[in-house]
């Protein structure tokens, strides 16, 4: 465990999270590996797990103290989010994502939501350990347009919001939404001006789950991160009042306070998966005998273990640098947070592959458990932008005047 440069508060939080993972999360995962494969989403993660997370005070991070939440150190909030996300993902990346969505949406709401709605929903979040929130941006078509973004009218969101007396009527669909199946409160993005680019014509709205015209269509059955129930939502003539409008027309610009920390936290969660892969593999190769000696004494095995450790440290270094840049609002923050997310997704995938292969036949047995790190790692290649889209974003940020632009409709 690395404590260099951490404050005393961060050290205590990290240790509490590590104890929670070692004493609660990992024993549950080992003893209940079949539950991950339940096709009844409600049966996967027991309520007791989020209840235990509540006990160590990590469920309502980012919620202002006046509403009962836990505010993190000024100037180190993103770094602390990342540190905690890594520790929780070491136990289970799906559980980490459940919690992370609450943190990120809380930061967004404290900046954009009117006070009376903050009072209502932050109170609900703090009082109910099972309460979850979701951020609804991605749609069945055009997800990559959202991430580049192509700032042209034809790339605008297909979810539309029309102004009516007293509020807005929203029609559309959202897909691949973290916490989408379980959440009680959603931030929904919709096109409100089809005549301009998406950066000038996208608005965001606060939508409670019980809103008339809102339907949770299904839970998306993913390969990994299965203890976070990813969902698909449908909006049919859904009315939301005027005060539930969070940002009109420039919602994507204002969502930077959600997106940038999100990239860092994705890298950190991925890092946690890599750390788990390394810890489990290091234990295995030092105790399992093959060819008359423990595995680690075979040079080929030692070489792979060294490669795993090096990749993990490289991911950690870039993630920490990017987190500091975001906390400092440095000019290089945008490019670094995308680099960290991209680098982590590719490097930890290689770490997970080594872990599975070093376990031999046991590596592909569901009940043995190490295959889980490979399934979880592969999800990060597609979360918060694909690998190729992340590379495009990096280049567009570095060379905005000459990087490739949207070619237009066929």
Does position 339 have pLDDT exceeding 90, yes or no?
Answer: yes
* CA gap 397, 260 in Å, rounded: 13
Q: Identify the pLDDT of residue 146.
A: 66
Token representation of residue 240: 């939301």
Q: Identify the pLDDT of residue 171.
A: 98
CATH code 1.10.540.10 region(s) in the chain: 8-131
Instruction: Identify the weakest region by mean pLDDT among 138-152, 307-321, 337-351.
Output: 138-152
Whether 187 contacts 136, CB under 8 Å? yes
Question: Which superfamily does CATH assign the domain made up of 134-253 to?
Answer: Butyryl-CoA Dehydrogenase, subunit A, domain 2 (2.40.110.10)
Please, what is the average pLDDT of the chain? 94
More confident: 385 or 303: 303
Beta bridge partners of 207: 186
Q: Identify the pLDDT of residue 287.
A: 96
Q: Report the candidate in 370, 350, 268 with the shortest Cα–Cα distance to residue 304.
A: 350
Q: Identify the pLDDT of residue 408.
A: 65
Question: Which superfamily does CATH assign the domain made up of 255-398 to?
Answer: Butyryl-CoA Dehydrogenase, subunit A, domain 3 (1.20.140.10)
Residue 343 class from Cβ within 10 Å (0-12 exposed, 13-18 middle, 19+ buried)?
A: buried
Q: Identify the pLDDT of residue 410.
A: 64
Q: What is the pLDDT of residues 219-276, one digit of tens each?
A: 999 999 999 999 999 999 999 999 999 999 999 999 988 899 999 999 999 999 999 9
Q: In sequence order, what DSSP letters do the residues of 40-72 get, joined into one string?
A: SGGGTS-HHHHHHHHHTT-TTBTS-GGGT-BPP
Q: Identify the pLDDT of residue 350.
A: 98
Any idea which architecture 8-131 has in CATH?
Orthogonal Bundle (1.10)
pLDDT band at residue 4 using 50, 70 and 90 as cut-offs: confident
Summarize the confidence of residues 79-85 as an average pLDDT.
Answer: 96
Q: Within 234-365, where are the H helices?
A: 251-254, 256-285, 299-327, 333-358
Summarize the confidence of residues 326-348 as an average pLDDT.
Answer: 97
Summarize the confidence of residues 9-31 as an average pLDDT.
Answer: 96
Q: What is the pLDDT of residues 144-201, one digit of tens each?
A: 766 666 777 877 899 999 999 999 999 999 999 999 999 999 999 999 999 998 889 9
CATH code 2.40.110.10 region(s) in the chain: 134-253
* CA gap 358, 135 in Å, rounded: 38
CATH code 1.20.140.10 region(s) in the chain: 255-398
Does position 1 have pLDDT exceeding 70, yes or no?
Answer: no
């Amino acid at each position: 465990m690395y404590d260099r440069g951490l404050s005393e508060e961060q050290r205590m939080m990290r240790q509490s999270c590590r104890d929670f993972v070692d004493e609660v999360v990992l024993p549950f995962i080992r003893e209940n590996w079949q539950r991950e494969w339940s096709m009844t989403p409600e049966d996967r993660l027991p309520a007791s797990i989020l209840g235990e997370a509540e006990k160590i005070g990590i469920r309502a991070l980012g919620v202002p103290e006046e509403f009962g939440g836990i505010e993190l150190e000024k100037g180190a909030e993103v770094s602390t989010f990342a540190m905690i996300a890594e520790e929780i993902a070491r136990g289970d990346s799906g559980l980490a994502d459940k919690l992370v969505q609450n943190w990120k949406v809380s930061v967004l709401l404290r900046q954009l939501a009117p006070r009376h709605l903050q009072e209502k929903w932050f109170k609900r979040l703090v009082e109910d350990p099972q309460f979850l929130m979701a951020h609804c941006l991605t749609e069945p078509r055009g997800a990559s347009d959202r991430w580049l973004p192509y700032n042209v009218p034809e790339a605008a969101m297909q979810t539309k919001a029309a102004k009516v007396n007293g509020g807005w009527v929203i029609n559309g669909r959202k897909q691949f939404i973290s916490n989408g199946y379980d959440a009680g409160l959603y931030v929904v993005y919709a096109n409100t001006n089809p005549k301009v680019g998406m950066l000038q014509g996208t608005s965001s709205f606060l939508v409670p789950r019980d809103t008339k015209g809102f339907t949770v269509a299904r839970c998306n059955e993913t390969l990994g991160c299965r203890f976070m129930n990813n969902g698909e939502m449908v909006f049919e003539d859904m009315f939301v009042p005027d005060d539930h409008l969070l940002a009109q027309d420039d919602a994507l610009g204002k969502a930077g306070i959600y997106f940038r920390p999100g990239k860092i936290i994705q890298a950190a969660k991925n890092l946690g998966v890599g750390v788990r892969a390394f810890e489990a593999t290091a234990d295995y190769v030092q105790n399992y005998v093959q060819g008359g000696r423990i595995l680690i004494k075979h040079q080929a095995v030692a070489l792979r273990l060294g490669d795993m450790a090096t990749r993990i440290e490289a991911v950690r270094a870039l993630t920490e640098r990017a987190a500091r840049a975001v906390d400092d609002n440095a000019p290089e923050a945008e490019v670094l947070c995308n680099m960290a997310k991209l680098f982590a997704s590719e490097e930890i995938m290689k770490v997970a592959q080594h872990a599975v292969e070093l376990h031999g036949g046991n590596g592909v047995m569901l009940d043995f458990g190490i295959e889980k790190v490979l399934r979880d790692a592969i999800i990060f290649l597609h979360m918060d932008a694909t690998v190729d889209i992340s590379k495009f974003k990096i280049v567009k940020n570095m060379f905005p005047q000459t990087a490739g632009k949207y070619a237009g409709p066929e």
